[in-house]
Amino acid sequence: MSELKEEKNTKPKLSKQSIKNSLQIFRYIKPYMGYFVAAMVFLVLGSLIFMGLMGLPGDMANQAIGEKTKLNLGLSVREYGWVFLGLLVVQGTLSYFRTVFFAIVSEKGMADLKKDLYDKILTQPVTFFEEHRVGELTSRITSDVEQLQSLFSITLAEFIRQIVIMITGIVLIIYWMPDLSLIMLMTFPPIVLLAMFFGKYIRRLAKDRQTELGKTNTIVEETFQSFTIVKSFANEWFESIRYRKSVDTVVKISLSSAKMKGLFFTFIITILFGGIFYILWQGALLLEENKMEAGDLFTFILFTGVLGGAIASFGTLYTQVISAVAATERIFEILATPSEFDISKSKNNEASQLKIVGDISFQNIEFAYPTRKDMQVLKGINIDIKAGQKIALVGQSGSGKSTIVQLLLKFYNPSSGQIILDNKNINELDLTNFRQNIGIVPQEVILFGGTIRENISYGKPLATEEEIIMAATQSNSWEFIDSFPDGLDTIVGERGIKLSGGQRQRIAIARAILKDPKILILDEATSSLDAESEKLVQDALDLLMENRTSIIIAHRLATIREVDCIYVIDKGKIIEKGTHSELIENESGTYSALARLQFEFNT
C-alpha cells in the first residue's frame, strides 16, 4: 500500500521535525520575500492600531462625562472623532496592501510549487503510478497546494494577528485595570478553552456525519448507475438493506451531534455568559466603590470580547496550521522522489537530435514486474529486428507480448539482459529523444477531451495546418473529419467518446503519422473493429509501416501474414519464430494450431 494512502489514516501532528520539513516551503516564497515581509509589517501595525482603536472609546467616554482619562491625550470629544477617522483610514490602507501582498506571495509562490509538483509527477516512471492512485496524486496537486495557499493568504496572517491582539490586549488590560484583569485572566481563558473543546468535538461529529452521508450517496449512485445489474441478479433486497443500514448510521451520528450541540448551548448560556456576567458584576462593584471609571469598564468589556475571540480562534487556526504542515510533508515527499529525466532540459528537445537507423536487439531479457518480483514474466527473450523490418509478437494473453514493448519504451528496466538500438544500449540514450523516435498505436485508443486537431497534433505540437490535414488524409481520417460541421475543431468528448472505435483508431494513426517515428509499435490496433473499419485502419497502418521498424502485437493472424518474422511467445519464452508460411507448415506447432483455429472459424 502506498505511503500516500497511509497518510489518510494518520492524524497530523506538529513536531520539531515536521516543522523543519515544512519550512522547505519557504524556498517558493523566497522570490517574493519583499512582499511577504512588507505584508507582515503591515499586519502587525494594523493589529496594533486595531487595539488602539478598542482603547479609545472608553477614554472618550471618560472625557465626555468629565472623569479621568487613562491616555491623557487632552483631546475634546470632537477631536476624538477625527482621531478615530484617521486611525481607521490608516488601518484600512494597511489592510488593503497587506491583503494584496499576501495574495501575491500565496498565488505566485504556490503557482511555482504547482508547476514543479506537476513536472515531478509527470516525469515519474510507470512504477510510480502503479504504486499510487491517480486520485491521491491529484489530491496532492489540488487540495494540498490549496491548503498551503490558504495558509499564506489567510491562516498565517490571521494566526499572527491573533497573537499580536492577545499579547497587546493582555498588556493593555493589566495596565488599564489591574484588579479586574486578574479576575478576567483567572476565569475567562479556561471557559474559552472549554468552549473550544466542545467545538472541536462537534466538528468531528459533523465530519463523521458527512463521511457517512457520502457513503450513503455512493450506494445510491452505484445502484442507479448499475441498475440493470441489480435487476438481473434480483438483488433489490440486498441494496435496500445496505442503504437502510447506511441511513441508520447517519441518523445515529446526527443524534449524537444534536445531543452534543444541546450540551454546548447549555454551556454557552450558563457557563460562558455566566463568566462574562461575573466579570461585569465585579467591574460594577469596582465602579460603585469608585475604584474604576465608567469609560474604563467599557474599554475592559471591549478588550475582553476581543481577547475571547482571539483565544477561541486558536483552535481552528491550529488545526489549519497542522493540516498545512502535513500537506507540505506530503508534497515534498513527492518532490524528493527521483525523476526519470530532467524536464527542464527536454522541453525544447527535438527527435532530430537523436538520429537512429532502427536496428533493435533484445539480448537474453529476463524480467519480473517490480510489484510482483516473485513472478518471472520474461525468460531469456532474444529478438533481432533490422531497420525497416516488420515483426509480429503472437501468443495468448499474459504470455509477455506487451511486456516486451514496455521494456522497449523503457517503462521498466530488464532484470537482466539488455536492449540494443543501433549498437547502443538504450539505457545510454537520452530518454526523451529516444521516446520521440517511437510511435505507438494502441488497442484501446485514449484521446484527450479537446478537439480532433489537438489530438492529431499531439504527435507534433508545432505542426502546421497542412501537416495535420496530410496526416489525417494518410490515416483515412480526413473524409469523416471533413464531414463534421466543425472539421478539425470538432470536440471529441471525454476519452474520445463522441467518435466510433474505428474513427478513434484512425485519429491515433494520424497522430503517429504526424510524429513520423523511426520505430512503430502496433498493439492489437484492429482487434476490436468491424470489418469495414478494420479495412480502413489496416490500409492506413500499411502506409504507416512503410520504411519503419515495426513491432506488431496481434491476435488476428490474418493481419500479419506479410511481416518479415513472427515470434510465438508462451509463458515468457519464444517457442517458435519464422515467417507465416514457414510456421504454418509446422502442423504440430502452436502457430499452425492458432492459424487453423482462426482461419477455419472465419470461413
Strands 573-578 and 565-570: antiparallel
CA neighbours closer than 13 Å in the CB half-sphere of residue 85: 6
Choose among 557, 554, 558: nearest CA to 525.
554
The answer, yes or no, to whether residue 315 has pLDDT greater than 80, is no
pLDDT confidence of residue 350? 46
For cell 473543546, name the residue: 197
| Span 522-545, average pLDDT | 70
Residue 565 in contact with residue 572, Cβ under 8 Å? no
- Report the 10 Å Cβ neighbour count for 430: 14
CA–CA distance, 400 with 377 (Å, rounded to integer): 6
CA–CA distance, 602 with 454 (Å, rounded to integer): 38
Q: Which residues share a beta bridge with 392?
A: 552, 566
Whether this prediction's pTM lies above 0.85 is answered by no
pLDDT confidence of residue 6? 41
| Span 509-514, average pLDDT | 86
C-alpha cell at 344: 527542464
| Span 186-210, average pLDDT | 71
CA neighbours closer than 13 Å in the CB half-sphere of residue 346: 17
C-alpha cell at 378: 520474461
Condensed to tens digits (0 to 9), the pLDDT of residues 254-284 reads: 888 788 777 777 776 677 667 667 777 777 7
Element (DSSP H or E) covering residue 242 = helix 236-267
Output the average pLDDT for the chain: 80
pLDDT band at 593 (very low <50, low <70, confident <90, very high): confident
Residue 456 in contact with residue 510, Cβ under 8 Å? yes
Q: Report the amino acid identity of residue 542.
A: D
CA–CA distance, 470 with 224 (Å, rounded to integer): 45
Condensed to tens digits (0 to 9), the pLDDT of residues 102-153 reads: 989 989 998 999 888 898 888 888 888 878 777 778 878 888 888 888 888 8
More confident residue, 193 or 105: 105
CA–CA distance, 522 with 545 (Å, rounded to integer): 10
pLDDT confidence of residue 53? 77
For cell 491573533, name the residue: 162
CA–CA distance, 47 with 309 (Å, rounded to integer): 14
Strands 378-385 and 360-367: antiparallel
Residue 169 in contact with residue 307, Cβ under 8 Å? yes
- Coil vs helix vs strand at 79: helix
Residue 487 in contact with residue 502, Cβ under 8 Å? no
In angstroms and rounded to an integer, the radius of gyration of the C-alpha atoms of the chain is: 36
Q: Starting from the edge strand earliest in sequence, which strands make up the sheet with 416-421, in order?
A: 378-385, 360-367, 416-421, 424-425
CA–CA distance, 52 with 63 (Å, rounded to integer): 16
Condensed to tens digits (0 to 9), the pLDDT of residues 157-187 reads: 888 888 888 888 888 777 777 777 777 777 6
- SS3 sequence, 498-556? CCCHHHHHHHHHHHHHHHCCCEEEEECCCCCCCHHHHHHHHHHHHHHHCCCEEEEECCC
The answer, yes or no, to whether residue 2 has pLDDT greater than 60, is no
C-alpha cell at 327: 500537506
Choose among 291, 299, 292, 280: nearest CA to 58.
299
pLDDT band at 42 (very low <50, low <70, confident <90, very high): very high
Rounded to 5°, the CA angle 439-500-486 comes to 90
pLDDT band at 353 (very low <50, low <70, confident <90, very high): low
C-alpha cell at 275: 463568566
Choose among 29, 84, 96: nearest CA to 60.
84
Condensed to tens digits (0 to 9), the pLDDT of residues 373-417 reads: 888 889 988 999 998 889 999 888 888 888 999 999 888 889 899
**Terminal Cα distance for the chain, rounded:** 50
CA–CA distance, 510 with 505 (Å, rounded to integer): 9
Tell me the C-alpha to C-alpha distance, in Å, between residue 592 and each of 84, 448, 492: 97, 40, 41
More confident residue, 458 or 602: 458
- Report the 10 Å Cβ neighbour count for 544: 23
CA–CA distance, 526 with 505 (Å, rounded to integer): 8
For cell 484583569, name the residue: 181
- Coil vs helix vs strand at 497: coil
pLDDT confidence of residue 603? 43
Condensed to tens digits (0 to 9), the pLDDT of residues 251-260 reads: 888 888 788 7
Q: Which residues share a beta bridge with 367?
A: 378
| Span 520-538, average pLDDT | 70
Element (DSSP H or E) covering residue 332 = helix 294-335
The answer, yes or no, to whether residue 514 has pLDDT greater than 80, is yes
Element (DSSP H or E) covering residue 119 = helix 77-122
Percent of the chain at pLDDT exceeding 70 = 83
Residue 275 in contact with residue 188, Cβ under 8 Å? yes
Tell me the C-alpha to C-alpha distance, in Å, between residue 475 and each of 390, 513, 522: 19, 8, 14
pLDDT confidence of residue 367? 92
The answer, yes or no, to whether residue 496 has pLDDT greater than 60, is yes
Residue 556 burial (C-beta neighbours within 10 Å; 0-12, 13-18, 19+): middle
Condensed to tens digits (0 to 9), the pLDDT of residues 338-352 reads: 888 777 766 555 444
Tell me the C-alpha to C-alpha distance, in Å, between residue 451 and each of 466, 492, 556: 17, 6, 31
Lowest mean pLDDT among 20-24, 62-66, 163-167: 62-66
Residue 188 in contact with residue 312, Cβ under 8 Å? no
